[in-house]
Amino acid sequence: MSTIFDNKVENAWCPGCGNFGIQNAMKRAFSELNLEPRNVVLVSGIGQAAKAPHYVNTNVFNGLHGRAVPVAFAIKTVNPALTVIAESGDGCMYGEGGNHLLHNIRRNPDITVMVHNNQVYGLTKGQSSPTSEEGFVTKTQPSGNISRPFNPLSFAISQDASFVARAFSGDIDGLVRLLKEAIRWKGFSLIDILQPCVSFNKVNTYAWYRKRIEYLDEAHDPENRLQAFERSLEWGERILLGIFYRKKRPVYQERVKENLGVEDLLYRGFESENILQGELPRFR
Amino acid sequence: MQKILMKGNDAVAEAAVQAGCNLYFGYPITPQTEISEYLSRRLPDTGGVFLQAESEIGAIYMVYGAAAAGKRVMTSSSGPGFSLKQEGISYLCSAELPCVLVNISRGGPGLGNIQPSQADYFQAVKGGGHGDYRVLVLAPCSVQELVDLTYLAFYLADKYRNPVEILGDGMLGQMMEPVVFRNPDYPDISKEEWVITGKKTRERRIILCFALDPKELEKLNLHLAEKYAEMERSEVLYEVYGSEQPELLLVGYGTVGRILKSVVREAEKQGIRLALVRPVTLYPFPKEILRGQARKAGKALVVEMNLGQMVEDVKLSVEGDVPVYFHGRSGGMIPTVEEIMHRVEEILLKGGEARENNL
């Protein structure tokens, strides 16, 4: 399916990479939400996942390892009219940038954080990542990873993040649906996307995931934080997908307006774009 | 001694193990990740610890802790990752903790790229972090020198209780060359006086990186200054190559130093007499030999893989006695013998009319 978000930038991912599913789902979700390329900003860090914004026809900030979230936060703060999405891998978001994730959950900016979670470092060719399972053998963990994997969902729910979901890059329809929900959500939305790495992760493969994934059923109440937390702990024979938790919380950008009264300073140039367009002909 | 064909990154790692380093903390980044990979396999055999940290910042403070506990410890990174360690390096200098830091540098600024570059010279020799400090900086030009300077780095770190940086580049890290491991058996330096080991019979040890009282901090800084002065007196290393009566002096370090040797030989074929000074220690900088050689030649050409960094130190060294020209390539571009020859001819033919730099 072609969309206005397609471009012709040469792709550097391995054939079969889970990133392709995420990239396609992203373009579809943007189209179905009727977003315009000029109003979307994709902010990424460093890693294979962080290359994704180059392959999508939107505004792009591809910067430095671990720092996508603070950059996205500030873009949204300066111009709340933009749809701002921070996108990177598990190493970037949960390792190098872990501290930024924590504090932006607290602030609750109206941004979406997409994490391509393949449980390995792909760009540097195969080292363990914060989400690698115990015993996972890599080039720098030759006798197996001895640290516990980071659980992003439990972490985010424990901190009362506004929106927490998990998707699988091998189910594009499901991923499109969840992405649209996450982007539409007013507040900080975290979407952890399970993604096979066909070159450096021979354990968590498409087949491995397909055997385990299952969407949360009707009985799950995403407003119930304790239930969400309990569900988020499950990982193994069954891996759950869907919206684990959501809770409306005041959004940072709105609180700045309300509490600090700085609306005029920060927003005037951008929100009055329509007025400006109306005035311009007078000066032609 | 057995000659082995080895990649630069692997060779640094092996030399570190042989120098008695059995602790390594790092984070993957191209083009130096092989150092981590090698040590992750090798260190467990020595009863040591390899750890891939959550970030470069985590890694440099693990180095701080391990050094305070008295062990030989190393970290390595490249460009952007090495920048993240700068805060820790300032603290290590202040706390006088020995360690070895390897920067297999790449193109900058920002994320730059993963090609070889000498863009990190200023960061290495001028103090990339805050405060008034110096790091001993060693600049190898071959896989053999990477090995030899790694042994030396651990010794100097202990001798001065100061971080020592090995500044290589992506070309040195990635290329394979025959190498011989000859551990020179430098003397052991006792750490009894300051190290934290939990020994029963002595008072508690405190390792600090601050003094809130300005009189105390100045005292600490003057003590550091004495160490730096001693380094400048005792640790300067360089190589001189080429003609005894040069018409022009070439100056370059690391990878460029090697290219300049080819330039000297090529010039000789054409009847042009060139000499080369290749600084091996970038701090302390070989000022005196440079001044002497530059005066002898009457003019100097500095070549670097950056927009002009070490050239400032060469100018300071020659104190305005002779004109100093510059030729630089950046962004991962490597100067060729042909283009440098072209520059040499231009300077020799036009003299005072020649452009100061190629940029």
Task: Tell me whether B44 touches chain A (CB under 8 Å).
Answer: yes
Query: Has residue B52 been placed in a domain?
Result: yes
Q: Write out pLDDT tens, residues B295-327.
A: 999 999 999 999 999 999 999 999 999 999 999
* Proportion of chain A above pLDDT 90, given as a percent: 86
Q: Which residue does chain B place closest to A138, by CA atoms?
A: B37
HEC string of A50-98? HHHHHHCCCEEEECCCCCHHHHHHHHHHHCCCCEEEEEEEHHHHHHHCH
Half-sphere exposure of A140 (CA within 13 A, CB side): 28
Q: Report CB contact under 8 Å: B80, A98.
A: no
pLDDT class of A272 with cuts at 50, 70, 90 = low
Q: Which of B234, B257, B287 is the endpoint of a domain?
A: B234
Task: Tell me whether B40 touches chain A (CB under 8 Å).
Answer: yes
| Residue B241, strand partner residues | B276
Average pLDDT over residues A163-183: 98
Q: Which of B183, B208, B234 is the endpoint of a domain?
A: B234
Q: What's the distance, CA A262 to chain centroid?
A: 29
Per DSSP, which regions of chain B are E strands? Answer: 3-7, 23-26, 49-52, 73-77, 99-105, 136-138, 163-169, 176-180, 238-242, 248-251, 274-279, 281-283, 300-304, 324-328
Q: Which residue has the tokens 């120098």?
A: B19
Interface probe with A: pick from B25, B33, B50, most Cβ of A within 10 Å: B33
Task: Tell me whether A281 touches chain B (CB under 8 Å).
Answer: no
Q: Write out pLDDT tens, residues B196-217.
A: 988 888 888 888 889 999 999 9
Whole-number average pLDDT of chain A: 93
Query: Has residue B116 been placed in a domain?
Result: yes
Sort out which chain B residues have CB atoms less than 8 A from A130's CB and list them: 54
Residues B204 and B189 in one domain: yes
Shortest Cα–Cα distance, A139 to chain B (Å): 6
Residues B228 and B256 in one domain: no
CB-CB: which of A65, A121, A141 is closest to B80? A65
Euclidean distance between CA atoms B85 and B32, whole angstroms: 15
Residues 6 or more apart in contact with residue B72 via CB below 8 angstroms: B19, B20, B21, B22, B23, B98, B100, B154, B157, B158
Longest dimension (CA), chain B: 73
Identify which of B132, B37, B120, B45 has the alpha carbon closest to the alpha carbon of residue B85.
B120
pLDDT at A209: 97
Structure tokens at B125: 């020799």
Sort out which chain B residues have CB atoms less than 8 A from A127's CB and list them: 28, 33, 36-37, 52
Sort out which chain A residues have CB atoms less than 8 A from B37's CB and list them: 127, 139-140
Q: Report CB contact under 8 Å: A140, B37.
A: yes
Shortest Cα–Cα distance, A47 to chain B (Å): 10
- pLDDT for residue A198 is more than 70: yes
Structure tokens at A39: 């109003």
Whole-structure pTM value: 0.93
Residue A16 Rama label (left phi>0; alpha psi -120 to 50; beta): left
How many CB pairs below 8 A link A and B?
44
Q: Report CB contact under 8 Å: A140, B54.
A: no
Q: Report CB contact under 8 Å: A141, B40.
A: yes
Task: Tell me whether B111 touches chain A (CB under 8 Å).
Answer: yes
Euclidean distance between CA atoms B126 and B134, whole angstroms: 7
CB-CB: which of A63, A124, A140 is closest to B30? A124
Instruction: Tell me how crowded residue A71 is: count the other CB atoms within 10 A of its CB.
Output: 20
Element of type H or E holding A194:
strand A189-194
Query: Has residue B359 been placed in a domain?
Result: no
Query: Has residue B321 been placed in a domain?
Result: yes
Q: What counts of helices (H) and strands (E) characterise chain A? A: 11, 10
Residues B192 and B267 in one domain: no
3-class secondary structure, B48:
coil
Residues B178 and B226 in one domain: yes
Look up residue B178 and give its amino acid.
P
Q: Write out pLDDT tens, residues A137-151.
A: 999 999 999 999 999
Query: Has residue B59 been placed in a domain?
Result: yes
Domain count, chain B: 2
Residues B217 and B97 in one domain: yes
Average pLDDT over residues B319-348: 97
CB-CB: which of A95, A127, A141 is closest to B55? A95
Task: Tell me whether B55 touches chain A (CB under 8 Å).
Answer: yes
Average pLDDT over residues A3-26: 96
pLDDT at B127: 87
Euclidean distance between CA atoms B170 and B33, whole angstroms: 11
Task: Tell me whether B33 touches chain A (CB under 8 Å).
Answer: yes
Q: What's the distance, CA A94 to chain centroid?
A: 12
Residues B83 and B113 in one domain: yes
pLDDT at A273: 59
Q: Is A148 exposed, middle or buried (0-12, 13-18, 19+ CB in 10 A)?
A: exposed
pLDDT at A256: 80
Q: Report CB contact under 8 Å: A124, B33.
A: yes
C-alpha distances in Å from residue B52, one per residue of B28, B34, B101: 8, 13, 15
Residues B192 and B306 in one domain: no
Average pLDDT over residues B24-30: 97
3-class secondary structure, B5:
strand
Q: Write out pLDDT tens, residues A243-253.
A: 999 999 999 98
Q: Write out pLDDT tens, residues B69-87.
A: 999 999 999 999 999 999 9
Helices (H), chain A: 18-32, 68-78, 90, 98-107, 152-158, 172-184, 206-212, 225-232, 252-255, 263-271, 273-279
Task: Tell me whether A47 touches chain B (CB under 8 Å).
Answer: no
To the nearest 10°, the Cα dihedral for B237, B241, B244, B250?
-90
Sort out which chain B residues have CB atoms less than 8 A from A136's CB and list them: none
Task: Tell me whether A38 touches chain B (CB under 8 Å).
Answer: no
Check if the beta carbon of residue A202 is closer than 8 Å to that of residue A126.
no
3-class secondary structure, B221:
helix
Shortest Cα–Cα distance, B151 to chain A (Å): 23
Euclidean distance between CA atoms B318 and B289, whole angstroms: 10
- pLDDT for residue A62 is more than 80: yes
Long-range contacts of A13-18 (CB under 8 A, 24+ apart): A13/A48, A13/A51, A14/A198, A14/A199, A15/A198, A16/A198, A17/A48, A17/A197, A17/A198, A17/A199, A18/A116, A18/A118, A18/A169, A18/A170, A18/A194, A18/A195, A18/A196, A18/A197, A18/A198, A18/A206
- CATH code of the domain covering residue B200: 3.40.50.970
CB-CB: which of A63, A66, A127 is closest to B52? A127
A194-198, B147-151, B205-209: lowest mean pLDDT where?
B205-209
Shortest Cα–Cα distance, A45 to chain B (Å): 10
Residues B61 and B121 in one domain: yes
Scanning B115-154 for CB atoms below 8 A from A yields: none
Shortest Cα–Cα distance, A64 to chain B (Å): 6
Q: Indicate the DSSP class of residue B47.
A: T
- pLDDT for residue A274 is more than 60: no
Task: Tell me whether A123 touches chain B (CB under 8 Å).
Answer: yes
Task: Tell me whether B103 touches chain A (CB under 8 Å).
Answer: no
* Proportion of chain B above pLDDT 90, given as a percent: 93
To the nearest 10°, the Cα dihedral for B290, B295, B300, B304?
10
Query: Has residue B358 been placed in a domain?
Result: no
Q: At what angle do helices B86-94 and B56-68 cross, to 10 degrees?
A: 20
pLDDT at A7: 95
Could you give phi then psi for residue A73, rounded to 5 degrees?
A: -55, -45
Euclidean distance between CA atoms B140 and B175, whole angstroms: 13
Look up residue B351 and give its amino acid.
G
- CATH code of the domain covering residue B327: 3.40.50.920
Euclidean distance between CA atoms B97 and B58, whole angstroms: 17
Whole-number average pLDDT of chain B: 96
A266-280, B206-220, B260-274: lowest mean pLDDT where?
A266-280
B63-67, B127-131, B327-331: lowest mean pLDDT where?
B127-131
Structure tokens at B43: 């260190």
Q: What's the distance, CA B150 to chain centroid?
A: 10
Could you give phi then psi for residue A145, rounded to 5 degrees?
A: -65, 130
Residues B206 and B333 in one domain: no
Q: Which residue has the tokens 């024979």?
A: A237
Q: Which residue does chain B place closest to A131, by CA atoms?
A: B54
Residues B120 and B226 in one domain: yes
Q: Report CB contact under 8 Å: B28, A98.
A: no
pLDDT at A265: 46
Instruction: Tell me how crowded residue A273 is: count the other CB atoms within 10 A of its CB.
Output: 11
Identify which of B278, B259, B282 has the alpha carbon closest to the alpha carbon of residue B336.
B259
CB-CB: which of B30, B50, B54 is closest to A130? B54
Q: Which of B180, B204, B234 is the endpoint of a domain?
A: B234
A153-167, B129-143, B201-215: lowest mean pLDDT where?
B201-215
Look up residue B12 and give its amino acid.
V
Average pLDDT over residues A165-189: 98
Q: Report CB contact under 8 Å: B40, A95.
A: no
Q: Which residue does chain B place closest to A45, by CA atoms?
A: B111
Sort out which chain B residues have CB atoms less than 8 A from A96's CB and list them: 27, 54-55
| Residue B137, strand partner residues | B165, B283
- pLDDT for residue B128 is more than 70: yes
Identify which of A76, A70, A78, A129 has the alpha carbon closest to the alpha carbon of residue A97.
A70
Residues 6 or more apart in contact with residue B194 via CB below 8 angstroms: B96, B161, B205, B207
Q: Report CB contact under 8 Å: B29, A124.
A: yes
Task: Tell me whether A127 touches chain B (CB under 8 Å).
Answer: yes
pLDDT at B344: 97
Residues B182 and B308 in one domain: no
b/e burial code for range B161-177 (CB count within 10 A of at least 16 → b):
bbbbbbbbbbbbbbeeb
Identify the domain containing residue B266 by its residue range. 240-353
What is the bridge-based pairing of β-strands B324-328 and B300-304?
parallel
Residues B313 and B285 in one domain: yes
Sort out which chain B residues have CB atoms less than 8 A from A121's CB and list them: 28
